[in-house]
Amino acid sequence: MVRLAHLWDMSRCVACMACVIACNSANFPEYMRSSNPNPQWSWLASNIKVWWISVGGRPRVLLTQCMQCDNAPCVKACPTKASHYDPKTGLVTIDYRLCIGCKACVVACPYGARWMDPESHMPNKCLGPECSSRIENGLKPVCVTVCPANARDFGDLDDPESSISRRVRESTTIRLREELGTKPRNVVVLRGG
Protein backbone atom coordinates (compact mmCIF):
# COMPACT_ATOMS: atom_id res chain seq x y z
CA MET A 1 0.00 0.00 0.00
CA VAL A 2 1.27 3.48 -0.74
CA ARG A 3 0.37 6.32 1.59
CA LEU A 4 1.00 9.46 -0.37
CA ALA A 5 1.18 12.68 1.59
CA HIS A 6 2.48 16.23 1.52
CA LEU A 7 5.06 17.66 3.85
CA TRP A 8 5.41 21.38 4.53
CA ASP A 9 8.29 22.71 6.61
CA MET A 10 7.46 25.74 8.71
CA SER A 11 11.11 26.30 9.58
CA ARG A 12 12.05 26.75 5.94
CA CYS A 13 9.09 28.53 4.34
CA VAL A 14 9.56 32.24 3.60
CA ALA A 15 5.99 32.94 2.45
CA CYS A 16 7.14 33.60 -1.08
CA MET A 17 3.74 32.37 -2.31
CA ALA A 18 5.24 30.61 -5.33
CA CYS A 19 3.34 27.45 -4.42
CA VAL A 20 0.07 29.31 -3.85
CA ILE A 21 0.33 31.11 -7.18
CA ALA A 22 1.59 28.16 -9.22
CA CYS A 23 -1.22 25.97 -7.88
CA ASN A 24 -3.62 28.44 -9.46
CA SER A 25 -2.02 28.70 -12.88
CA ALA A 26 -1.35 24.96 -13.10
CA ASN A 27 -4.66 23.64 -11.85
CA PHE A 28 -7.18 26.40 -12.44
CA PRO A 29 -6.03 28.30 -15.52
CA GLU A 30 -9.60 29.32 -16.27
CA TYR A 31 -9.58 31.49 -13.16
CA MET A 32 -6.38 33.42 -13.74
CA ARG A 33 -7.98 36.73 -14.57
CA SER A 34 -10.99 36.60 -12.33
CA SER A 35 -11.06 39.12 -9.49
CA ASN A 36 -13.10 36.81 -7.27
CA PRO A 37 -12.41 33.24 -8.35
CA ASN A 38 -12.72 31.73 -4.91
CA PRO A 39 -15.37 33.66 -3.00
CA GLN A 40 -15.49 30.98 -0.34
CA TRP A 41 -11.99 31.83 0.81
CA SER A 42 -11.78 35.38 -0.62
CA TRP A 43 -8.71 34.03 -2.26
CA LEU A 44 -7.15 33.13 -5.57
CA ALA A 45 -8.08 29.89 -7.29
CA SER A 46 -5.51 27.94 -5.32
CA ASN A 47 -5.80 24.89 -3.11
CA ILE A 48 -3.32 26.35 -0.61
CA LYS A 49 -4.44 28.62 2.19
CA VAL A 50 -2.14 31.00 4.05
CA TRP A 51 -2.60 31.70 7.75
CA TRP A 52 -0.64 34.48 9.43
CA ILE A 53 -0.38 33.27 12.98
CA SER A 54 1.44 34.04 16.17
CA VAL A 55 3.17 31.31 18.14
CA GLY A 56 4.17 32.50 21.58
CA GLY A 57 4.23 36.13 20.38
CA ARG A 58 6.38 35.17 17.44
CA PRO A 59 4.93 35.76 13.99
CA ARG A 60 4.76 32.66 11.83
CA VAL A 61 3.03 31.61 8.67
CA LEU A 62 1.09 28.38 8.22
CA LEU A 63 0.25 26.99 4.80
CA THR A 64 -2.47 24.37 4.54
CA GLN A 65 -4.08 22.31 1.84
CA CYS A 66 -6.17 19.13 1.86
CA MET A 67 -4.65 17.05 4.67
CA GLN A 68 -5.37 13.71 3.01
CA CYS A 69 -7.11 12.36 6.10
CA ASP A 70 -7.20 8.62 6.52
CA ASN A 71 -10.44 9.10 8.43
CA ALA A 72 -11.85 11.90 6.33
CA PRO A 73 -15.01 13.73 7.51
CA CYS A 74 -15.65 14.84 3.93
CA VAL A 75 -15.81 11.27 2.71
CA LYS A 76 -18.19 10.38 5.53
CA ALA A 77 -20.35 13.39 4.81
CA CYS A 78 -20.64 12.78 1.08
CA PRO A 79 -24.09 11.39 0.30
CA THR A 80 -23.16 10.08 -3.15
CA LYS A 81 -19.69 8.58 -2.54
CA ALA A 82 -18.26 11.13 -4.95
CA SER A 83 -15.67 11.90 -2.28
CA HIS A 84 -13.81 8.66 -1.78
CA TYR A 85 -10.40 7.18 -1.11
CA ASP A 86 -8.60 6.30 -4.29
CA PRO A 87 -8.20 2.54 -4.03
CA LYS A 88 -4.54 2.59 -5.10
CA THR A 89 -3.14 5.67 -3.36
CA GLY A 90 -5.63 6.21 -0.61
CA LEU A 91 -5.74 9.90 -1.58
CA VAL A 92 -9.07 11.57 -0.95
CA THR A 93 -10.45 12.07 -4.42
CA ILE A 94 -13.63 13.49 -5.91
CA ASP A 95 -15.44 11.66 -8.68
CA TYR A 96 -17.17 14.57 -10.35
CA ARG A 97 -19.50 12.23 -12.21
CA LEU A 98 -21.13 11.45 -8.87
CA CYS A 99 -20.87 14.90 -7.25
CA ILE A 100 -24.16 16.80 -6.86
CA GLY A 101 -22.59 19.99 -5.45
CA CYS A 102 -24.39 19.69 -2.10
CA LYS A 103 -21.43 21.20 -0.13
CA ALA A 104 -21.72 18.61 2.64
CA CYS A 105 -18.00 17.91 2.29
CA VAL A 106 -17.09 21.58 2.30
CA VAL A 107 -18.90 22.04 5.59
CA ALA A 108 -17.57 18.80 7.04
CA CYS A 109 -13.88 19.50 6.41
CA PRO A 110 -12.40 20.81 9.68
CA TYR A 111 -9.43 22.27 7.80
CA GLY A 112 -11.48 24.36 5.41
CA ALA A 113 -9.59 22.68 2.61
CA ARG A 114 -12.40 22.72 0.06
CA TRP A 115 -13.77 25.64 -1.89
CA MET A 116 -16.74 25.82 -4.23
CA ASP A 117 -15.99 26.32 -7.88
CA PRO A 118 -17.91 29.41 -8.99
CA GLU A 119 -18.72 27.89 -12.37
CA SER A 120 -19.16 24.15 -11.91
CA HIS A 121 -20.63 24.65 -8.42
CA MET A 122 -18.71 21.62 -7.28
CA PRO A 123 -15.96 21.55 -4.67
CA ASN A 124 -12.27 21.96 -5.47
CA LYS A 125 -9.43 20.75 -3.33
CA CYS A 126 -5.89 19.48 -3.50
CA LEU A 127 -4.85 17.59 -5.61
CA GLY A 128 -6.02 19.56 -8.58
CA PRO A 129 -6.13 18.11 -12.09
CA GLU A 130 -2.60 19.02 -13.17
CA CYS A 131 -1.05 17.71 -9.98
CA SER A 132 -3.03 14.48 -10.19
CA SER A 133 -1.75 14.07 -13.70
CA ARG A 134 1.79 14.82 -12.57
CA ILE A 135 1.89 12.26 -9.78
CA GLU A 136 0.39 9.72 -12.08
CA ASN A 137 3.41 10.33 -14.28
CA GLY A 138 5.85 10.04 -11.44
CA LEU A 139 6.37 13.76 -11.00
CA LYS A 140 5.93 15.58 -7.75
CA PRO A 141 3.04 18.03 -7.47
CA VAL A 142 3.54 21.58 -8.67
CA CYS A 143 3.72 23.24 -5.24
CA VAL A 144 6.51 20.87 -4.25
CA THR A 145 8.71 21.40 -7.28
CA VAL A 146 8.29 25.18 -7.36
CA CYS A 147 9.30 25.77 -3.74
CA PRO A 148 12.65 27.58 -3.67
CA ALA A 149 13.12 26.98 0.06
CA ASN A 150 12.93 23.21 -0.08
CA ALA A 151 10.04 23.60 2.34
CA ARG A 152 7.88 20.99 0.63
CA ASP A 153 7.89 17.34 -0.20
CA PHE A 154 5.44 14.72 -1.38
CA GLY A 155 5.71 10.99 -1.42
CA ASP A 156 4.97 7.65 0.14
CA LEU A 157 4.97 7.62 3.94
CA ASP A 158 4.98 3.83 3.90
CA ASP A 159 8.19 3.68 1.95
CA PRO A 160 11.05 4.19 4.43
CA GLU A 161 13.37 5.08 1.54
CA SER A 162 11.23 7.95 0.24
CA SER A 163 12.50 11.48 0.77
CA ILE A 164 9.37 12.37 2.71
CA SER A 165 9.89 9.47 5.12
CA ARG A 166 13.49 10.48 5.63
CA ARG A 167 12.48 14.04 6.36
CA VAL A 168 9.81 12.91 8.81
CA ARG A 169 12.42 10.81 10.61
CA GLU A 170 14.93 13.63 10.80
CA SER A 171 12.61 16.43 11.83
CA THR A 172 10.28 17.48 14.61
CA THR A 173 6.85 17.16 13.07
CA ILE A 174 3.20 17.56 13.89
CA ARG A 175 -0.07 16.84 12.18
CA LEU A 176 -2.77 19.45 12.40
CA ARG A 177 -5.80 18.97 14.65
CA GLU A 178 -5.15 15.29 15.22
CA GLU A 179 -7.40 15.44 18.25
CA LEU A 180 -10.35 15.38 15.86
CA GLY A 181 -9.51 11.84 14.91
CA THR A 182 -9.25 12.69 11.24
CA LYS A 183 -5.87 10.97 10.92
CA PRO A 184 -4.41 13.59 8.58
CA ARG A 185 -1.52 12.28 6.53
CA ASN A 186 0.05 15.62 5.72
CA VAL A 187 3.04 16.51 7.83
CA VAL A 188 4.01 19.90 9.20
CA VAL A 189 7.69 20.17 10.09
CA LEU A 190 8.40 22.46 13.01
CA ARG A 191 12.13 21.99 13.08
CA GLY A 192 13.97 20.59 10.13
CA GLY A 193 16.58 17.89 10.33
Partner 1 sequence: MALRISRRDFVKIAGTALALSSIPVSISVVSGFRQPSVSRLEAIGSQREAVRTFCGMCGALCGIQVVKVDGRIAYVEPLDGHPQRGLCGRSASTVWLWDSPLRLRKPLKRVGERGEARFQEVDWDTALNEIAAKLREVVAKYGYKSIAITHHDVWSYYMPLFSYLFGTPNVISHVGMCHASGTVARGHILGAGGPPSVDPDYENASYILFVSRTPGTASMGVLNRLRGNRKVRIVVVDPRMPEIGLGDAEWIPIIPGTDAAFLLSLAHVIIEERLYDETFLKYYSNAPFLIKPDGKPLTEADLVEEGDARKYMVWDAKTKKPVDHKTPGIDPDLLYEGDVTLKDGTVARVRTAFQLFRERCSKYKPEEASRITGVPAETIRRIARELALYKGVVDDTWFISKNGNDYDDVRAALILNVLLGNIDKPGGLCFQESARFPAVITVVTRDGKRYARTFYDVEMPEELFGDVGATRVDRTKYRATPATFDAILDAILTGDPYPVKALFVIGTTPIHRDMDVDKIKEALGKLDLLVVIDILPQDIVDYADYVLPDTTYLERDEFTTVKWTLHAAVHLQKKITEPPEGCDARSALWIMFEIARRAFPERARALGWRDEYADYHKFEEFEESLSEILVRKVADTWKIPLETLRKELEEKGYYILKSKEYMVRPYRVALGTPSGKCEIYSLTALGLGLDPLPDYRPPPAYPLPKADDEFYLVNGKGPLISAHALLMEPMRFFKHLWSVWMNPRDAERLGIKDGDIVELESLAKPGKRVKARVWVTEMVREKVLFTYSYVGRRSKLLPENHFARGGVNIHELNKAYVIPIVGGGASNTSVRVRRVT
For partner 1, the binding residues (CB under 8 A) are: 2, 4, 9-22, 24-26, 29, 32-35, 42-44, 50, 52, 54, 57-61, 86-89, 91, 93, 127, 129-130, 132-133, 135-140, 142, 145-146, 148-151, 154-156, 159, 161-163, 191-193
Q: Whole-number minimum distance, CB 109 to partner 1, in Å?
A: 19
Q: Which of residues 17-46 bind ligand SF4 (CB under 6 A)?
A: 17-19, 23, 27
65 lies in the site for ligand SF4, by CB under 6 A: yes
**14 contacts ligand SF4 (rule: CB under 6 A):** yes
3 state DSSP class of 133 = helix
Which residues from 126-145 bind ligand SF4, rule CB under 6 A?
Answer: 126-128, 131, 141-143
User: Hey, what amino acid is at 86?
Assistant: D
Residues 6+ apart with CB under 8 A from 156: 2, 3, 4, 162, 164, 165
63 touches, from ligand SF4, partner 1, none (C-beta below 5 to 8 Å by class): ligand SF4
Query: What b/e string do you get for 66-95 counting C-beta neighbours within 10 Å, with b at 16 or more?
Result: bbbbeebbbbebbeeebbbeeeebbbbbbe
Backbone angles phi, psi at 171, to 5 degrees: -125, 165
Question: CA-to-CA distance for 61 and 137, rounded, in angstroms?
Answer: 31
Please give the backbone phi and psi of residue 58, each rounded to the nearest 5 degrees, phi first.
Answer: -105, 125
Chain residues binding ligand SF4 by CB under 6 A are 8, 13-19, 23, 27, 47-48, 63, 65, 126-128, 131, 141-143, 146-147, 149, 151-152
